[in-house]
Amino acid sequence: MKPRRFALTPGEPAGIGPDLCLLLASQPQPHPLIAITSRDLLLERAAQLGVAVDLLPVTLEQLPTEPAPANSLYVWDTPLAKPVISGQLDQANAAFVLQTLTRAGHGCLDGHFAGMITAPVHKGVINDSGIAFSGHTEFLADLTHTEQVVMMLATHGLRVALVTTHLPLREIADAITVERLERVTRILHADLQHKFGIARPRILVCGLNPHAGEGGHLGREEIDIIEPTLERLRTEGMDLRGPLPADTLFTPKYLEHCDAVLAMYHDQGLPVLKYKGFGAAVNVTLGLPIIRTSVDHGTALDLAGSGKIDTGSLQVALETAYQMAENRI
C-alpha cells in the first residue's frame, strides 16, 4: 500500500497536545505524519519532558513520501504569537491554533493530506480572544463549505453518532426536526459505507424520550417525527432499527449486531461510549469532504509538560484515520 500523508494539529499549545506529538514520535507510523505547529514550541516542550526527538522541517512544497524515521517527527513550522508556558492559557495564541487547523484543512482539500488528526483545543480562550469559535466540528464545516456535519465517537465495539451536539437540554426537543434527523441519518449511513467500508450498515436509533415516548404518554416526538422519518428512509433500503429506549438499547442484545447507534443528544449517547472506552476512543467528523479524527479528551492543562500522559486516544485517532483513508470510496 502506497503511504499517504496525514496532518496532525496539536491544538492548544499550553495543553498536552504538543506532549502527545512528541511522545508519538517514538512509535513507528505506517504513513508520513506531519505536525503543523511551532517548531520552537516542540523544542521547548521536549526539553521540559526530557525526551529526545529529531524535528524534521517540511514545507507544503516539499512534503515527505515516507514515514519519519524512529524518534523523529515531521514539522510544518507555524509560528506562535507569544512563547508558551505549559498549563497557562494565552489569548494571544488563539489565532495560531486556528492557523494550524486552516493549514491542515486546506491541505486535505488540495490533496496534500489524506486526512487530519486533531489534538484538543480550548474553546474558551479562543472566544475570549474575540474570535467566535464553537469547536473543531463547526470550524471545519465552515472551512470546507459543508452545510451539515455529524459528530460520531467510536471505541472498540461501539460507534455513537449524534443528531444534536452542544445544546442546552431545554432546546433539544425543538431541534429534533424531520429535516435534521433525515440529513444526519443520511450522512451517517453514507459515511459508514464510503469511509468505513460497511456495505449495508445496520443503525440503531434512540428515542428522544424515556421509554421512547411510551406510546405517546411520555412525549410525541417518536410518533410525530422519528418513526415516520425512519420509515421513509427504510423504503430506500436503509437498515434502521428504532426508535428504541436508550436505557435498554446500549446492551449486548442490541449492540452485537449493529454498526452504529444514532443518539438524539450529546449526553444520551456519549456517557455510555466514554464509560466503555475512555482513553481509547476517537471523535470522527462525518459529512466533511475530508477525513478528520480527534482524541476523546480535553487539553488537560494541569498535565502539560508533566510526562504523566499516554497516547492511547491519539493512537486510536490515527489508526481510524488510516483505516478511513484506505476504505474511502
Q: Is the pLDDT of residue 10 over 80?
A: yes
Is 144 annotated as a binding-site member? no
Q: Global pTM? A: 0.91
Cell of 278: 475512555
Asked whether the predicted pLDDT for residue 111 surpasses 80, the reply is yes
Residue 329: its pLDDT value, please?
65
Tens-place pLDDT, residues 16-29: 999 999 999 988 89
Evaluate whether the domain defined by 150-274 bears CATH number 3.40.50.2300: no
Residue 244 φ/ψ, nearest 5 degrees: -115, 150
**Is 195 assigned to a binding site?**
no
5 is in an annotated binding site: no
- Spans of all domains in the chain: 6-146+288-327, 150-274
In this model, does residue 214 exceed pLDDT 90? yes
Residue 248 assigned as binding residue: no
Question: In angstroms, rounded to a whole number, what is the distance separating the alpha carbons of residues 201 and 208?
Answer: 22
Ligand-binding site membership of 137 (annotated): yes
Q: Is 106 annotated as a binding residue?
A: no
CATH number 3.40.718.10 is the correct assignment for the domain at 6-146+288-327: yes
**Do the Cβ atoms of 252 and 137 come closer than 8 Å?**
no
283 is annotated as contributing to ligand binding: yes
Confidence of residue 279 (pLDDT cuts 50, 70, 90): confident
pLDDT digits (tens, 9 = 90+) for 122-149: 999 999 999 999 889 889 999 999 999 9
Mean pLDDT of the chain: 94
Please tell me the distance from the alpha carbon of residue 172 to that of residue 102, in angstroms, as a whole number: 30
pLDDT of res. 2: 63
Q: Which three cell numbers stand for residue 193?
A: 459505507
312-327 vs 17-24: helix axis angle to the nearest 10?
70
| Annotated binding-site residue? 186 | no
Question: What confidence tens digit (pLDDT) does each residue in 52-77 have?
Answer: 999 999 999 999 999 999 999 999 99
Does 6-146+288-327 match 150-274 in CATH topology? yes
